[in-house]
Amino acid sequence: MPLNIKDLKIESLDFVSLGRMKDEHAGNKGNVIPRLRISGAPKEAVELAVICHDPDAPLAHGFTHWTLYAVPPGTTDLDDAQSKFRVGPNGAGQPGYYGPQPPDGHGPHHYYFWVYALDTKVEGTPSREQFLDRYAGNIIEQNRVVGTYEN
- CATH for 36: 3.90.280.10
Q: What is the pLDDT at residue 6?
A: 82
Q: pLDDT grade, residue 123 (50/70/90)?
A: very high
Into how many domains does the chain fold? 1
Domain around 38: 1-100
Q: Does 128 reside within a domain?
A: no
Q: Does 62 reside within a domain?
A: yes
Pairing state between β 139-149 and 109-118: antiparallel
pTM: predicted TM-score of the whole model, two decimal places: 0.95
Q: Does 80 reside within a domain?
A: yes
Q: Does 150 reside within a domain?
A: no
Residues 82-110 have pLDDT tens digits of 899 999 999 999 999 999 999 999 999 99
Q: What is the pLDDT at residue 60?
A: 86
Residues 48-89 have pLDDT tens digits of 999 999 999 999 899 999 999 999 999 999 998 989 999 999
